[in-house]
Structure 1
């Protein structure tokens, strides 16, 4: 195996933000950045590759105070567009500080500032810097990293090229309800009466006559058949919340038939927790839900995605970390598609208030079915085209390309007409465009 190239960084700055962003950059490019005065790390031989940050010299990167813990002035956030349309900010006399740009995006710096939450308490794409300046669809962190890699190779022509990655297609699903009509108890009866009152006679008749295997939400078998045919591995996040909130629509107690489905999926898919709507305000509910899904799957669960994508920093992530969760897959928006943190690569969450990198690994996504249909009003075909456009921007950089879907979106009465056909076509076209199936470690 080829050893990882080591690049020494000469700087007087020892803030954890700089150490964190250099770790991110190294993970992306396939290099290892080491501070010059970390004498326990270095041999006595002179370095082959040395750069500076925060000083002068021929190989010094631009330096902005953001990475020493100072708040940026508003003028610093006015983007300057490169000829290819890539925005940069945090200007310095030597040019934009791309390390500061990366930290700003990945740390979700702006989400720690005052903002107006939506009705579910969320920070929205419309309020974000990327949304307001029109670059949400671009994986800007990957692009900034590539520019830094290009700069390093100009300085050091014998430096090995950055790591290459393939674009890995990863379908993921939030299972709020495994059945639309069955195992619903009083909620199912209320839904039938509501259909009648609205004059939706056919839906009411179908609700009461159908068998569980014909339920419009019962699509996991079809999905797994599709995944096998395309060579894909899926991830499912299960809502197992207790009653008490109308947004948590899952049956409770969890039916034995659902448990059987979950256990059968263990052999072919990844599974995690979909914490209930109230869990972010009530940590004791998260603890109970985590214990319940562990009992259902007969193993510990370490991954999650927030119901309704209810993510408030730093509280939500601290809570997940405190309850033993190691991965979160909520890093995306409900009101628009694109890269909330500017990257598709998993990264350790940085707690900005406590100024520390944590062990909680964040897995971003760029597109959700509800966003495409309800917020953007796209047809199934146009939704597929938007997804392929996101993938095309990412293809030169590679890495995971997760999609977030719900099993309910395949029901014509609740999702898209021909939603299944459009979805299967989109997955097939993404693979034809150059993506490869994601393979879990």
Structure 2
């Protein structure tokens, strides 16, 4: 166990030390404000305060972990060997940056509470983030900093046995609509047919009818293929089904249709199932509650995980609503159009409410790549290269890699050619040795 001496034990300090030390590095941490207790401790120990006591392992503290609310904080990002960091703390510290303050800034999503430009859907843009602006979005810097901290501790405490964690994969399958043509109802099918004709998309018009009449397999119905992949993999897949009402933004199947319910139940027999909340549930608690109860009725168990429609988050309201409904995990944190680590970590972390200054019970699983972003690359080789780069970053810190694919990603539709191979690379990466 690591003992931390500090002049003030705050909720922020406890939160970030437990993430870095316990969740990333695997050892327990406790805190004291008593010098005598610190001196008497005969194992791992550091002082985290303004002034060094003697010649102990010392990290000079930044004020952010002792603040409350939001303040105007000066961020000066600097190189640190193969990565970057901020909150430089001088030569007396055992490590040159206050990694705990910097980690808190990223994990709490401090910057997303500050004034920023949003996209057309009201989402926080990757280009607005400190990580993008200073070119470290592609690295799980919080985990990298944690390992640097561990290496420094190893030098000071060579006899301590540090635990090792293993790289893992958590594949996400997003299902905004389970079928392209099936179960859409008469009016939607008729409207879709007219749309095909007006756009001269005669192939789509033809395919729509032969699928509806059962003469061809629906291209979005890839569930048998995915379940077979699940049976072969040691990593549990997590499906998110949209069951909200039809709207401008959400065009799934009516959740009261028996075949759709049967599909969700069938998938739940093999994989974990969560709720993909509808666009209007983001700002409407009663709609969110209705969708949660509906999904629990379908899967016949307590809903454990959610993913917000369009990867949109309204902090802190989106997460507070989930907490009130006792949803324990969320998989929305990430960027649709950029690869990387929105919260700086590839280790699940708890949502810290900056308004109430508390660690909440909601665990955030930040995703690192979405299938859509790989469409920027025209060749399969470029897609593979990009995918392997992000996998490598996670492997170097033995983290949890979370990719988001969709059910239609595994179809035979032209733009998704080669994505089955990409998914195989992801699954196989967990059977190879970490770096």
Paired residue for 1:29?
Answer: 25
* Aligned residue number for residue 223 of structure 2: 220
Match of 1:173 in 2: 173
Whole-Å separation in 2 of the counterparts to 1:231 and 1:96: 38
Structure 2 equivalent of residue 90 of structure 1: 87
1:309, distance to aligned residue in structure 2 (A) = 0.4
TM-score, normalised on structure 2?
0.91
Question: Of 238, 248, 251, which residue of structure 2 is paired with 1:249?
Answer: 251
For residues 376-430 of structure 1, give each alpha carbon's deviation from its aligned partner in whole angstroms, at most 9, with x where no partner exists: 355444333212111111212213212101112233447423433x334433552
The answer as to 2:10 corresponding to 1:8 is: no
Distance in structure 1 (CA, Å) of the matches to 2:144 and 2:311: 26
- Asked if structure 2 preserves the Cα contact closer than 8 Å seen for 1:168 and 1:399, the reply is yes
Three-state SS of the structure 2 residue aligned to 1:96 is: coil
* 1:439 aligned partner: none
Q: Contact 2:274–2:305 (CA<8 Å) still a contact in 1?
A: yes
Once the two structures are TM-superposed, the CA of residue 187 in structure 1 deviates from its matched residue by: 2.3
Structure 1: distance between partners of 2:220 and 2:396: 36
Pairs within 5 Å for 1:63-212:
63-69=61-67, 76-84=74-82, 86-93=83-90, 94=92, 95-161=96-162, 163-185=163-185, 186-210=187-211, 211=214
Contact 2:123 2:313 in 1 (8 A): yes
In structure 1, what is the Cα distance between the partners aligned to 2:216 and 2:329? 32
CA deviation string 1:16-69 (max 9, x = no partner): 111111111222112222112489xx8996443321111213221121111111
In 1, are the aligned partners of 2:255 and 2:261 still within 8 Å (CA)?
Answer: no
Q: Using the TM superposition, give the Cα deviation of residue 276 of structure 1 relative to its aligned residue in structure 2, in angstroms.
A: 0.3
Of 289-298 and 27-36, more deviation after overlay is shown by: 27-36
Cα distance change of structure 1 residues 231 and 46 upon mapping to structure 2, 3 Å threshold: closer
Q: Secondary structure at the match of 1:278?
A: helix
CA distance in 2, matches of 1:320, 1:414: 37
The change in CA–CA distance for 1:415 and 1:408 in structure 2 (over 3 A counts) is farther
Displacement of 1:263: 1.3
Of 384-393 and 135-144, deviating more is: 384-393
Give yes or no for contact 1:327–1:360 (8 Å, CA) kept in 2.
Answer: yes
2:365 and 2:233 map into 1 onto residues whose CA distance is 23
Q: Describe the SS at the equivalent of 2:14.
A: helix
Give the Cα–Cα distance (whole angstroms) in 2 for the partners of residues 77 and 44 of structure 1: 34
- Give the aligned partner of residue 277 of structure 1: 279
Cα distance change on mapping 1:277 and 1:143 into 2, 3 Å: same
- Equivalent position of 1:332 in the other structure: 334
With 327-336 and 255-264 compared, the bigger mean Cα shift is at 255-264
Q: 2:359 aligns with which of 327, 344, 357?
A: 357
8 Å contact kept, 1:336–1:371: yes
Q: How far did 1:232 drift?
A: 3.8
For residues 305-339 of structure 1, what are the alpha-carbon distances to aligned partners after superposition, in whole Å with 9 as ceiling and x for unaligned?
11100112111100111112110011111120101
Q: Structure 1 stretches of 5 or more lacking a match?
A: 1-5, 437-441
* Alignment deviations for residues 128-166 of structure 1 (CA, whole Å, 9 cap, x no partner): 1111111111010100101111121222222222x3222
Whole-angstrom distance in 1 between the partners of 2:332 and 2:34: 36
Q: Distance in 2 between matches of 1:414 and 1:255?
A: 30
CA 1:300–1:263 in structure 2 vs 1: closer, same or farther (change >3 Å)? same
Distance 2:29 2:6 in 1: 12
Secondary structure of 2:3's match? strand
What's 1:372 paired with?
A: 374
Q: Deviations over 1:151-203 (max 9, x none)?
A: 21222222222x32221122111111111001112223222211111111111
Which residue matches 1:60? 58
* SS of residue paired to 1:166: coil
C-alpha spacing 1:428/1:237, structure 2 compared with 1 (3 Å): closer
For residue 390 of structure 1, what is the aligned residue in structure 2?
390
Q: Which structure 2 residue ranges, 5 or more long, are not aligned? A: none
Separation of aligned partners in 2, 1:384 and 1:429: 13
Task: Supply the distance in 1 between the matched residues of 2:300 and 2:216 (Cα, whole angstroms).
Answer: 25
Task: State the number of aligned residues.
Answer: 422
Give the match's secondary structure for 1:274: strand
- How has the CA–CA distance of structure 1 residues 238 and 356 changed in structure 2, closer, same or farther, with 3 Å as cutoff? same
CA distance in 2 between partners of 1:103 and 1:262 (Å): 38
